[in-house]
Homo-oligomer: A and B are copies of this chain.
Amino acid sequence: MNHIFVGQKPVMNYAMSALIQLASAGEVTVKARGMAISRAVDVAEIVTKRLGNGQFKVKDIGISTEVVGEGAETRNISSIEIVVGK
């Protein structure tokens, strides 16, 4: 379960969680859906550029579409997964 799901909290909360994961596991996947995608990119940029002493880099980025809701409420939402590691 080496991932962080980015939502509506302040970006630094997620950046700190990511750094803790990186320190213990050496890799973390930063995930987000919809409007939170921008914040997930901020988290990855902060962890690789501003914090982490240049130890970590973005290793892979994937985007996809998820279907959420049921029946007539079904809609598509974009998602992102950013793998950060050494």
Contacts and interface: CB of A to CB of B under 8 A. Distances in A.
A44 interface: yes
Interface string A4-28: 0000000000000000000000000
B64 A45 contact: yes
Interface size class of A (residues with CB under 8 A): 20 to 34
A34 interface: yes
B63 A82 contact: yes
A38 B82 contact: no
A45 B78 contact: yes
A45 B61 contact: no
Given A37-B37, A45-B63, 14 more contacts: A35-B35, A35-B38, A37-B41, A38-B38, A41-B63, A41-B78, A41-B80, A44-B63, A45-B76, A50-B76, A61-B61, A61-B62, A61-B63, A63-B82
